[in-house]
Structure 1
Amino acid sequence: MRVIGLMSGTSHDAVDAAAADLVLDGDTVVLAPLGLVGEAYPEALRSALSAALPPAATTMKEVCALDTRIGQAFASLAARADRELCEGRADLIGSHGQTVYHWAEGGKVHGTLQLGQPAWIAEATGCPVVSDLRTRDVAAGGQGAPLVSLVDALWLGGRPGVCAALNLGGIANITVVSSAGDPLAFDTGPANALIDAAVGALTGGRLDHDADGAMAARGTVHEPLLERLFGEA
């Protein structure tokens, strides 16, 4: 089965598509990567998305427009991934969508919202589309994040001792796997989302991210701030 996965993170700057060939070998699912493609959001779309994110006020008209335009951006990349990575023979597409709100109160996640109407993807590719992955996790009693821990647990499972995987996305998260118990996964705090915002502020909007960490590499550690952050861990 040839499957395409679509993702845009909390940095809301681009859409990525990864394709893989999945084969069932007994009780084991064997994954063979087929490639990766990505496309930046059009600047007008990214600006509209940024302007609608909390704590900014928005309208249902703007939400509807974003849901459509993000869905169309995902659909365009999905069609490209099918052509370039799957020879036009993709069987299934999974779409994460674009997270715009995570509703948490009293230590519990009550809901989560990802935009990017999957119907546009289905129409553009003719493939069945699986979506609303985070919402299903919340409905089942989960936190809706992180989702990458499912793959981390498969990757790290069976290794001796305690293993951990740290994912530095828009929001950072960690997965800890031990033979002594169930995997543990949770968000640890902001990562690239705040870094990108800082880069934009420091460069007057000239840059939107720190390519290859070049700006960070020229800096020095602010020890008092680091100690304060460790104290809040």
Structure 2
Amino acid sequence: MRVLGLISGTSHDGIDSAVVDWSLSDGVLTGVVEHTGEEPYEAGLRARIVAALPPNRVDMGEVCALDTLIGQAFAEAAERVPRAELICSHGQTLFHWVEDGRVRGTLQLGQPAWIAERTGLPVVSDVRARDVAAGGQGAPLVSYLDLLLMAGLPGRSGALNLGGIANLTVREPAIAYDTGPACALIDAAAPPYDEDGALGAAGTVDEALLAELLAEPYYAERPPKSTGKELFAPGYVKADLPLPDLVATLTALTAETVAAEIRRHRLDTVIVSGGGVRNPTLMGMLRARVPDTRLLTSDELGVPAGAKEAIAFSLFGWLTAHGLPATVPSCTGATGARVLGTLTPGSDPLALPAPLAEAPVAIRFA
């Protein structure tokens, strides 16, 4: 079954897409990645998304407009990629409601009816809400894919995604959580991002500011836990430093908070993905802090590092279509595994495959 996964992450710079042809045999799910790509948001729409993010406040008229405009942008992105049989759209997270460590709700905008209308295909959407309703964090959902990817690795292994927010999945015991910011604060200091880590490399880490930032209470909270730009907003850091020194310090913050978790779990191997992989300064700082851990990119396992989350949402669409849960309760904190999302029919009568009784136990990419 060919499924298109669509997502815009916490960097909110564009829409990532991945078309994967999935097939299951003897418990092994094979994914043939037929397309990956990124469609940047139009500048005006991105500015409206940024203006709607915390700590800013917007009225319901703007929420309605953004739901439509983001849905239309996702529909245009879907129309430009190879044809699939099903689409799974994450949309754009505008708010992740956390109180006292518990997720009360999560809001992703991007009305799926626009995608279904433009493409004629059924659309799985609103993917995080069911896990939240079951007591989970609604994140990191990618832990399902991570655990399948790590199945054949020797020793203690983990999977790290460096997007706007960093999340880590550990195989044994199976847990996953957001460690803190990955590129969110770096991007806010040097928009749209620190290309090739050049600013971070040119600056000097301010140790006093770094120590102050490391005192953030979130880092001491026990998993499962999740966070976002509600906490790590553009105005989170207030410091009068030369820009290269500020970016170097924020890069060191990401490296140190991630490395602390890798060390805590004594991981031998970590699969790294996300936009942060393309920042050599960040990766260099991380390697220096975990010299005994092998860091390999997800590309080496057949999963393009920049498209891993889009591939994960393609997988979630396949699982939902076959009636299979796509969550790991020990990773999200939910009371049980859940089939994710809601379905918007396409132009034809909705016809789903026969439900599968057993979930895949391994995954490979051809």
State the 1:145 CA deviation: 1.1
- What is the CA RMSD across the aligned residues, in angstroms? 1.6
Question: What's 1:94 paired with?
Answer: 88
Specify the alignment match of 2:184 in structure 1. 193
In the superposition, the TM-score normalised over structure 1's length comes to 0.88
- Partner of 2:52 in structure 1? 52
Q: CA-to-partner distance for each residue in 1:34-82, whole Å, 9 max, x for gaps?
A: 1212111111101111111122121111000000000000010111113
TM-score between the two structures when normalised by the length of structure 2: 0.57
More deviation in 54-63 or 69-78? 54-63
Give the Cα–Cα distance (whole angstroms) in 2 for the partners of residues 34 and 70 of structure 1. Answer: 25
Output aligned runs, 1:22-41, within 5 Å.
22-41=22-41
SS in 1 for 2:171: strand
Tell whether 2:94 aligns with 1:110. no
Greater Cα shift, 27-36 or 109-118: 27-36
Given the alignment of the two structures, is residue 142 of structure 1 paired with residue 142 of structure 2, yes or no? no
- 1:212 pairs, out of 189, 193, 196, with 196
SS of 2:141's equivalent in the other structure is coil
| 1:137-195 deviations in Å (ceiling 9; x for gaps) | 111221011122111111112433211122111111111112xx3x1100011222211
Aligned partners of 2:147, 2:141: CA distance in 1, in Å?
11
2:143 is matched by which residue type in structure 1? S
Can you list the C-alpha shifts for 1:93-124, whole angstroms capped at 9, x where unaligned?
Answer: 11011000011112211100000001111111
Name the aligned partner's letter for residue 20 of structure 2. Answer: A
Instruction: Note the C-alpha offset of 1:196.
Output: 1.0
Following the alignment from structure 2 to structure 1, what is the Cα–Cα distance between the partners of residues 38 and 178? 25
2:123 is matched with 129
Looking at structure 2, the residues matched to 130 and 80 of structure 1 have their Cα atoms a distance apart, in angstroms, of: 18
State the match for 1:205 in structure 2: none
Q: Which runs of 5+ in 1 are unaligned?
A: 83-87, 201-207
Corresponding residue of 1:64:
64
Please list every run of at least 4 consecutive aligned residues from structure 1 whose deviation after the TM superposition is greater than 6 angstroms.
none
Look up the SS of the partner of 1:75 in the other structure: helix
Displacement after TM superposition at 1:199 (Å): 0.3
Equivalent position SS for 1:157? helix
SS in 2 for 1:141: coil
- Cα distance in 2, alignment partners of residues 225 and 116 from structure 1: 38
Partner of 1:13: 13
Moved more, 20-29 or 68-77: 20-29
Q: Give structure 2 stretches of 5+ with no counterpart.
A: 220-366
The one-letter amino acid paired with 1:102 is H
CA distance in 2, matches of 1:185, 1:81: 31
Residue 168 of structure 2 corresponds to which residue in structure 1?
A: 174
Distance 1:158 1:227 in 2: 38
